[in-house]
């Protein structure tokens, strides 16, 4: 049997919704015993909200008031879907993730690998450009030496050729 104090809040903006926003949104309806912003992990190992949350109030009447007050409300430009949380026969909360076919899974895995490979290639190109810029200026090694004819505070710049490579 599901806990009458626990509510489901869906259609959250995964990029902009936070635990703090959810606390501010639900706290006016009563004392909160627990808040769970459901997250996954992206390819880089970062925690990413999945777009829904569960909030458990201390009293079932508070949960009912939150459902009435928040269902259809707008947060971060999205209309919220708020209802009692449903439990599965095992007692855990029902979460229905999108199931991918084997082919879709392969495409997702390949796509995430390509993105990181693309990022690596951009970094490599940037480093190569820096090395080429340094390499093109290797003949312009500047050495600052104090001049005997000038006051001690000034210096003259002397162009020193780079050493020749011996064959």
In angstroms, the first-to-last Cα distance of the chain is 85
pLDDT of residue 152: 46
The bridge status of strand 155-160 relative to strand 141-146 is antiparallel
Contacts of 74 (CB under 8 A, 6+ apart): 80
The reported pLDDT for the residue numbered 133 is: 74
Which of the residues in the chain have pLDDT under 50?
92, 95-97, 143, 150-160
For residue 25, count CB atoms less than 10 angstroms from its CB and return exposed for 0-12, middle for 13-18, buried for 19 or more: buried
Model-level pTM? Answer: 0.52
Per-domain boundaries in the chain: 6-84
* Cα gap 67→65, rounded to integer Å: 5
Give the pLDDT score at 70.
93
- Predicted pLDDT of residue 147: 53
- Is residue 4 within 8 Å of residue 84, measured between CB atoms? yes
CATH topology of domain 6-84: Alpha-Beta Plaits (3.30.70)
- pLDDT score recorded for residue 96: 47
CA distances from 91 to 34, 59, 88, 94, 95 (A): 17, 20, 5, 9, 12
| pLDDT score, position 115 | 56
Are residues 70 and 57 in contact, defined by beta-carbon separation less than 8 angstroms?
no
Q: Which is nearest to 76 in space by CA: 4, 11, 151?
A: 11
Cβ atoms of 155 and 146 within 8 Å: the answer is: yes
Q: Tell me, what's the pLDDT at 106?
A: 66
Alpha helix (H) ranges present in the chain?
19-26, 60-70, 102-136
- pLDDT value at position 30? 94
For the record, the structure tokens of 101 come out as 């076919």
């Amino acid at each position: 049997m599901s806990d009458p104090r626990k509510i489901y809040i869906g259609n959250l903006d995964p990029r902009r919704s936070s635990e703090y926003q959810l606390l501010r949104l639900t706290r006016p309806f009563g004392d909160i015993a627990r808040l769970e912003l459901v997250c996954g992990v992206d390819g880089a190992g970062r925690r990413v909200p999945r777009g829904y949350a569960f909030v458990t109030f201390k009293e079932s009447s508070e949960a009912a008031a939150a459902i009435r007050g928040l269902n259809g409300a707008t947060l971060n430009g999205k209309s919220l879907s708020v209802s009692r949380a449903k439990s599965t026969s095992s007692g855990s909360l029902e979460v229905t993730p999108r199931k991918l076919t084997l082919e879709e899974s392969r495409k997702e895995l390949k796509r995430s690998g390509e993105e990181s490979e693309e990022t690596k290639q951009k970094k490599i190109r940037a480093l190569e450009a820096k090395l080429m810029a340094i390499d093109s200026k290797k003949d312009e090694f500047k050495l600052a030496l104090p001049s005997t004819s000038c006051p001690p505070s000034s210096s003259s710049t002397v162009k020193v050729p780079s050493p020749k490579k011996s064959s």
